[in-house]
């Protein structure tokens, strides 16, 4: 299996080399040269597997340059911190099923990809005798998941940008309480998109990228996308009966289009998915795109601070991978679209999207703060289940697309403890915290505050990067 760039300017590379690159040299994103496929017989054979075993099988279709025994060792290590089932499914009211993606060390779905990424990046670096300085941006959960997966690793240093004042108290504590020498938290005076723009600017400077050994672990990283594909297969296998070819629908709270892109990959691979439902918050640029075909990102000033902060994103990094498939893998049209975005502030794929969405069943909806509160309240009253605000966005939109006879699976985003203020507002209860979590919340915080200044960031990385 080889990987190419969405912009057509990268020599095909194997999995391990691609995941260390982050952005492709031409500024595009890595995608499989040919998408692997899975048939019904294979799916049935996978029903009896544990989660690490299933991960080995699915990831083995993408990471063909890694010996199977090495891959099995890495998936076992990646999911050792999780409960035995790793991803439990539980029913709530109205015929919905929650896919429990928040059982990892940082209580968010990002752990499922990040724990594997930590294993496979370390493996690739050891194979090549190299070091990597990870440069990332987070709106909340990606940063903590990355740092907890990579902390203490000798060949890896992490430079994680986050928007000042835009994360929950819990999210800040999970990141800033870490005091490992290889973890560098940088709070940028701006919003998530400003952080993301800084990452793209430095990653796009190939001389600086090579000199500083820069790589990425945010949702553009290939290992994260492929690792997230696994739980779509896992959830389907547990929501359907053996021997059938039952279609299910998935609803995915989305800001950066990484999680739902993995579902799109799973559908392309042959998993029987009827609909992929994208749930947005008030920063509903993606909902607008899937309803109209026009992609019009908002400025930093127009990006709202909401009660589902991990989705406070107006420029979806992974959308480019979807656009590549939307236009029939025509790299020239991808480049043209991004030129239009730079020049005019939007691009228009209305005609292409109408055909594509009908074929692939992608739909979308928006949830507001009032919707989140009402949804958290209704789920608690009918199911005695407390869900976080992002999952509430998913449940609210999922209810709009229920179909008789089609199971609707909603991807859980995080544990509610990460958003205690919103839970208190919705249902008036105080959540329990373990002694370990309370100690984290009370621990000293280590963070460097910085202006939205590319040169200041360059200087900081040059001073602290691994060589």
- Partnered with residue 410 across adjacent β-strands are 98, 251
* More confident: 342 or 93: 342
The overall average pLDDT reported for the chain is 94
In the 8-state DSSP scheme, what is residue 11? -
- Residue 392 and residue 369: Cα distance in Å, rounded? 10
Write down the pLDDT at residue 295: 96
The per-residue pLDDT for 262 is 97
CA dist., res. 59 & res. 400, Å (int): 33
Q: Taking residues 27-42, report their average pLDDT.
A: 96
Model confidence at 276: pLDDT above 90? yes
pLDDT of amino acid 168:
85
In terms of Cα–Cα distance, which of 214, 190, 217 is closest to 202?
A: 214
SS3 84: coil
Average pLDDT over residues 85-96: 92
Say what the pTM is: 0.91
Query: 309 pLDDT exceeds 90?
Result: no
pLDDT top residue among 378 and 313: 378
Of 92, 118, 89, give the one whose Cα is nearest residue 102. 89
Q: Return all residues near 189 (Cβ < 8 A) that are at least 6 apart.
A: 164, 449, 450, 451, 452
* pLDDT exceeds 80 at position 135: yes
301 — phi, psi (to 5°)? -65, -25
Q: Can you tell me the distance from the alpha carbon of 188 to that of 387, in angstroms, rounded to the nearest whole number?
A: 29
Question: 248-253 and 96-99: which strand pairing?
Answer: unpaired
Cβ contact 131:174 at 8 Å: no
- Where does the pLDDT of residue 129 fall: very low under 50, low under 70, confident under 90, or very high at 90 and above? very high
Which of 241, 230, 239, 237 is CA-nearest to residue 266?
Answer: 230
Burial class (CB in 10 A: 0-12, 13-18, 19+), 329: middle
Q: What is residue 310's DSSP assignment?
A: G
For residue 37, pLDDT beyond 90: yes
pLDDT at position 215, please? Answer: 85
Percent of the chain having pLDDT more than 70? 100
Residue 110 designated active-site: yes
203-259 residue pLDDT tens: 889 899 999 999 877 778 899 999 999 999 999 999 999 877 899 999 999 998 999
Active site residue: 110, 153, 396, 415, which one? 110
* Burial label, 389 (beta-carbon count in 10 A; 0-12, 13-18, 19+): buried
pLDDT at 466: 94
| pLDDT at position 346 | 95
Nearest CA among 413, 374, 415 for reference residue 390: 413
- Name the percent of the chain lying above pLDDT 90: 81
> Residue 309 carries which DSSP code?
G
CA 298 to CA 307: how far, in whole Å?
Answer: 18
For residue 342, the tally of other CB atoms under 10 A from its CB is 9
pLDDT over threshold 80, residue 184: yes
Domains annotated for the chain, with CATH where assigned, are 89-106+225-427 (3.40.50.1100)
- Residue 303, CB half-sphere, CA atoms under 13 Å: how many? 25
pLDDT for residue 317: 86
Query: Does residue 152 have a pLDDT over 80?
Result: yes
Find the angle CA(418)-CA(423)-CA(424) to the nearest 5 degrees: 120
- Pairwise CA distance, residues 266 & 279, whole Å: 18
Tell which phi-psi region holds residue 270, choosing left (phi > 0), alpha (psi between -120 and 50) or beta.
Answer: left
Inform me whether the pLDDT recorded for 20 exceeds 80: no
pLDDT tens string 419-456: 999 999 999 999 988 888 999 999 999 999 999 999 99
Task: Give 361's contacts (C-beta < 8 A, 6+ positions apart).
Answer: 249, 267, 273, 274, 275, 276
Taking alpha carbons only, the member of 85, 60, 83, 74 closest to residue 114 is 74
Of the ranges 28-42, 133-147, 162-176, 446-460, which one carries the lowest mean pLDDT score?
Answer: 133-147
Over residues 176-192, the mean pLDDT reads 95
pLDDT in tens, 320-377: 999 999 999 999 999 999 999 999 999 999 988 888 777 888 999 999 999 999 999 9
Question: When comparing pLDDT for 356 and 410, which is higher?
Answer: 410
More confident residue, 119 or 355: 119
Contact criterion met (CB below 8 Å) for 3 and 222 = yes
């Amino acid at each position: 299996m080889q990987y190419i760039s969405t912009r057509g300017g990268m020599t095909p590379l194997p999995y391990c080399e691609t995941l260390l690159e982050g952005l492709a040299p031409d500024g595009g994103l890595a995608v499989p040269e040919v998408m692997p496929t899975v048939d019904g017989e294979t799916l049935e054979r996978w029903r009896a597997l544990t989660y690490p075993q299933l991960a080995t099988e699915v990831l083995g279709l993408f990471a063909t340059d890694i010996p199977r025994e090495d891959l099995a060792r890495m998936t076992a290590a990646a999911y050792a911190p999780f409960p035995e089932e790793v991803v439990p499914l539980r029913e709530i009211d109205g015929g919905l099923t929650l896919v429990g993606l928040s059982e990892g060390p940082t209580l968010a779905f990002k752990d499922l990809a990040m724990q594997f990424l930590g294993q496979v990046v370390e493996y690739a670096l050891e194979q090549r005798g190299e070091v990597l300085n990870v440069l990332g941006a987070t709106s909340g959960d990606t940063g903590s998941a990355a740092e907890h997966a990579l902390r203490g690793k000798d060949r890896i240093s992490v430079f994680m940008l986050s928007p000042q004042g835009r994360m929950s108290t819990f999210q800040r504590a999970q990141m800033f309480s870490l005091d490992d020498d290889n973890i560098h938290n940088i709070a940028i005076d701006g919003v998530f998109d400003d952080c993301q723009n800084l990452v793209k600017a430095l990653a796009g400077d190939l001389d600086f990228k090579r000199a500083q050994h820069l790589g990425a672990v945010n949702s553009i990283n290939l290992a994260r996308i492929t690792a997230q594909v696994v739980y779509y297969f896992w959830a389907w296998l547990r929501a359907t009966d053996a021997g059938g070819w039952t279609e299910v629908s998935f609803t995915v709270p989305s800001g950066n289009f990484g999680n739902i892109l993995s579902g799109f990959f799973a559908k392309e691979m042959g998993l029987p998915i009827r609909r992929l439902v994208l749930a947005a918050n008030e920063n509903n640029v993606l909902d607008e795109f899937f309803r109209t075909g026009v992609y019009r990102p908002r400025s930093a000033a127009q990006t709202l601070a909401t009660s589902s902060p991990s989705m406070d994103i107006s420029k979806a990094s992974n959308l480019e991978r979807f656009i590549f498939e939307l236009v029939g893998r025509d790299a020239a049209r991808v480049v043209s679209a991004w030129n239009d975005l730079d020049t005019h502030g939007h691009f228009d794929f209305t005609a292409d999207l109408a055909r594509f969405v009908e074929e692939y069943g992608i739909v979308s909806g928006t949830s507001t703060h009032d919707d989140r509160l009402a949804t958290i309240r209704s789920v608690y009253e009918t199911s005695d289940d407390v869900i976080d605000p992002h999952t509430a966005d998913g449940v609210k939109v999922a209810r709009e697309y229920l179909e008789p006879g089609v199971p609707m699976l909603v991807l859980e985003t995080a544990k509610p403890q990460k958003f205690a203020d919103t839970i208190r507002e919705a249902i008036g209860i105080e959540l329990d915290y373990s002694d370990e979590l309370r100690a984290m919340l009370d621990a000293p915080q280590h963070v460097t505050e910085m202006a939205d200044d590319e040169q200041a960031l360059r200087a900081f990385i040059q001073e602290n990067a691994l060589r």
